[in-house]
Amino acid sequence: MVQRKGLCGGSADDPVMSVDLAFGDEELLPAVAQDADSGEVLMVAYVTREALERSRETGEAHYYSRSREELWHKGGSSGHIQRIEEIRVDCDGDAILYIVEQEGGACHTGYGSCFYRTIEGEVVGEAVFDPDAVYE
């Protein structure tokens, strides 16, 4: 089930990327953002090919907003951008990992990470900014 062809050769569909990506029918892949310094998992969102290409071109994380149905430059309005340190791809080419330097906090609730709660509802994350001061 490993796409071994992806381990070596480039992809005719993706001249920019050397690894085959298994975009499904929705043309979206899940993307995890991880803090380069702390290793904290910051968020999970989705990328299109365009979002990935914009991330590589600009060095800042781009996603695709499924609710707004548009390319999403993370931090474009809040200033809480994510500077890309490295982009990784998983074995099957169907998930992306952005290793980033996070400006401010990743979560629009004011927490550093969107994963600030356990499944039991206990808050375990750290609040790093006041969302009312950032979002109108």
Q: Kindly list the residues in this chain that would bind a second copy in the complex (CB under 8 A).
A: 1-2, 6-8, 10, 17-19, 30, 32, 34, 38-41, 43-44, 52, 56, 67, 86-92, 95-97, 107-109, 111, 114-121, 124
41 vs 71 by CB, closer to a second copy: 41
71 vs 117 by CB, closer to a second copy: 117
Q: Which helix (H) or strand (E) holds 73?
A: strand 70-73
Determine the Cα–Cα distance for residues 72 and 46; give it in Å rounded to an integer: 10
Structure tokens at 118: 């356990």
71 vs 97 by CB, closer to a second copy: 97
Cβ(65)–Cβ(77) below 8 Å: no
